[in-house]
Amino acid sequence: MRFVTFSRGTDGEPTFGIVVDETTVVDLVKGLEGEVDVPESLLEYIKSGPELHRSVVEAVDGREWPAALTCHIDDIVLHAPFRPGKIIGVGLNYVEHVEESSRTLDTSESLPTRPVLFSKPGTAVIGPDEPILHNAMMTSELDWECELAVVIAHRSKSVTESDAMNHVFGYSIVNDISARDQRRSGQWFFSKGQDSFAPFGPMVVSADEISDPHSLQLSLTVNGEPRQNGNSKHMLFKIPQLIADITAGVTLETGDVIATGSPQGVGAAMVPPTYLLPGDVVAATIEQIGTLSNPVKAV
């Protein structure tokens, strides 16, 4: 299923629902009232575990929804699916991106031998169409990275590679916004963790809908112009390796997100280097998930 968190109008209470075709959203709590006890938020839903998910999948299968329970996706405000407890980023996880980074970001040209990990705080999370903040005091090199986001299903510690996919609830998109100048000066936290540097959404697609997360096309545009185009099959460390590696040292919890790395085509590698400026609109698309679009705004 395809889950969204949304409100009707700008001051409506957020709720969550499912996208039943390209444009129709059903409020899941109201839609299954009296039939399946659905919690109020997507994060609580994921925490409830696979039994609830199976009941909901069964209940919504092939169902005709009365108009009173549906809305058009253009008539609602989409939010970030939820605020993850933590976002773990994976640097240099696509071969061509390792190459372009070594040319432009002073990183090594040899491929990493284990995942390069960092984290983003929950305060960096924004939803679809919310502004990425361009703080000129902090950066003049604001860059994009379209990444497949893995949403963790439940508490995960010391997970083996063979068991890792059982810990995945679903997939989404994170645009790993990066201040390249902060990174170059050694400030990873300001490079990756500033407010608004983790656009997340527009939906979470449950793992049962994506048969192979390692064959998804990723792309990104700035003001409609193509910038990134890649495929998750080129990930250096695949999702099971990432989960096994991370949980060897850090417990992952329900709703934690792994941003699995960016393909080639970042602004720092363009000739000349080209960065995001206020007024730009950056749109990250992943096949079978959707498009996450955000404007850039000066602060």
| Residues found near Mg ion in the complex (CB under 5 A) | 145, 176, 262
Rounded CA separation 212/195 (Å): 32
Residue 9 — left, alpha, or beta (φ > 0 → left; ψ -120 to 50 → alpha)? left
- Give the nearest distance from C-beta 36 to Mg ion in angstroms: 37
* Residue least distant from Mg ion (Cβ): 176
Would you say 70 or 119 has its CB closer to Mg ion? 119
**Cβ closest to Mg ion, residue 59 vs residue 250:** 250
Query: Smallest distance, Å, CB 262 to Mg ion?
Result: 4
Taking the complex as a whole, the smallest distance from the CB of residue 259 to Mg ion amounts, in Å, to 6
Six token digits for residue 209: 């809908």
Nearer to Mg ion, 206 or 262 (CB): 262
Interatomic CA distance for residues 36 and 59, integer angstroms = 8
Residue closer to Mg ion, measured from CB, 232 or 262: 262
Q: Which residue's CB is nearer to Mg ion, number 59 or number 270? A: 270
Mind giving me the DSSP string for 140-169? S-EE--EEEEEEE-S-B-S--TTTGGGGEE
The minimum distance between CB 13 and Mg ion, in angstroms, equals: 33
Minimal distance, residue 176 CB to Mg ion, in Å: 3
Q: Which of 185, 204, 193, 178 lies closest to 266, judged by CA? A: 178
C-alpha span between 224 and 221 (Å, rounded) = 5
